[in-house]
Amino acid sequence: MADLGGLGDKAKDFANSDKGEKAGDAALQKGDDAASSATGGKVDDKIDDARDAADGRIGD
């Protein structure tokens, strides 16, 4: 059986690394761009606020 606790620790370590931070930022930016495109840019300020809040939750 897989050690799921260890997997969670590895994920946290990756998220806190420079490589993980860059990957997280890239993923959030892709989501931001997709949401902006889907809404025609009408709510970009709210989308940016949500992206920033998510970035704060997963790591700076």
Determine the pLDDT at residue 30: 96
Give the span between the Cα atoms of 32 and 50, in whole angstroms. Answer: 9
Query: What's the angle, vertex CA 8, arms to CA 23 and CA 34, rounded to 5?
Result: 35
**How does 15-24 read in b/e, with b if 16+ C-beta sit within 10 Å?**
eeeeebbeeb
In this prediction the pTM is 0.71
Give the span between the Cα atoms of 23 and 12, in whole angstroms. Answer: 13
Question: Where are the domains positioned within the chain?
Answer: 17-58
First to last CA, the chain: 33
Mean of per-residue pLDDT scores for the chain:
87
Neighbours of 47 (CB within 10 A): 19
